[in-house]
Chains A and B, each alone.
Chain A
Amino acid sequence: MSFGFCLLESCNEIEDCTLNPYSNYAVATFDVLNDESQIIAFDSIILEGFGRLPGDRDTLVGMLLPLNAETSEAVFHYYTDSTLYSLAISYDSQPLIYELSCEAAIKFSDLDTSYHSFDSLVIVGSEVHLDYVPINFEIYL
């Protein structure tokens, strides 16, 4: 029966939209060089073109970096009472239909930094993919 149906119609595959691994943010973790116990907190974090990001006064371990499909660069400014850190990241974005019955998604890839003023920064994963790349940037102050 199902074989006969497949002859007339293309065979359908099981689609699960919850498996979509693409999101519209990169993930950064923050740490202090040579002092892992030190707490990190910023007075404010500003994303150019958006404004102040929520939760910026909290103790920071990891942070979502919003990505905009309409541009190819995002610039973040991290303010403390004495220092300003900046981070400019570039990326490619490509739309795709993950599954026929799911919403279209944006795949962000080729993440790179065009500028940063932190002590050091490691690009751990250059693609936004929740399954394979849980962290994109490791940032050290």
Chain B
Amino acid sequence: MGISQIADTVRIKPDWKPSRLHIGIDGSRLMGTAIKVHKSSLGGMVDLDFHRFLFAFEGGVEKINRIKTYEYTNQGAFFKWGIDYNLIPHNKYRNMVSLGLRYAQSEFSDELNFEEENAWFGTQVLQFSNKNVSAHWTEILLRLNVRIWKNIFLGSVLRIELMKNISATHQFIPFDIPGWGRNWKSGTDEKTANMGFSYYLIYNFSYREKEIPLKRLK
């Protein structure tokens, strides 16, 4: 048995005890609120480490008011929870690249008001609304956290949203879903999948020193 083979079998006992809490605010939602007149939104995230895993929770509120020849209003909240797996636990700056999975839920109400020009019945003022609609979906995430200064990290998240399911709506199919985005494709069909990108400003509350595991010898 060679020396290199002995080194390969050295194992460090996993440390499952949490050591740090990340709390972040969604910068992309703040940016969206600042530059889009029809949208105001606030979102945040929390995660806690368990060995190479992180238990993560995200949430937020969103209000959309689209005024065109119609007026569409959508207001609600969303929650997402799941786990991330850190692909680079050896990084000495605690930077992180992770893959994650989320279960997401959105609760909202929306309303659509418009005038319909009907050649036979004249101009009709139509009002439709959905109350207490819920939507559920699953997300696959690729996260990148980079330390920018002391305990402050910049996090970016690329997400693929899948398997959406909306509860029975009362009067019409919602155009937007808080936390998901646009529910309609350009044209006439509902979106069955969606992609999203967001970035977070994260503060790292480290309440216990945790050894950075050494890289396994090749």
Contact = CB atoms under 8 A, between A and B. Distances in A.
Nearest to B113: A104
Please report whether the interface of chain A is mostly helix, strand, loop or mixed according to DSSP: loop
B184 interface: yes
A24 B121 CA distance: 10
Interface of A: 7-10, 13-15, 19, 21, 24, 47, 50, 53, 66, 68-70, 94-104, 106
B31 A8 contact: yes
Contacts, number: 75
A47 B31 CA distance: 53
A104 B124 CA distance: 12
Contact of B124 (A13, A69, A96): A69
A99 B186 contact: yes
B70 A103 contact: yes
Nearest to B127: A95
B5 interface: no
Nearest to B156: A7
Interface residues of B, number: 30
Contacts of A102: 69
B126 A94 contact: no
B35 interface: yes
B112 interface: yes
B172 A94 contact: yes
Contact of A101 (B68, B118, B171): B68
A50 B120 contact: yes
A95 B114 CA distance: 10
Contacts of B124: 68-70
Nearest to A53: B120
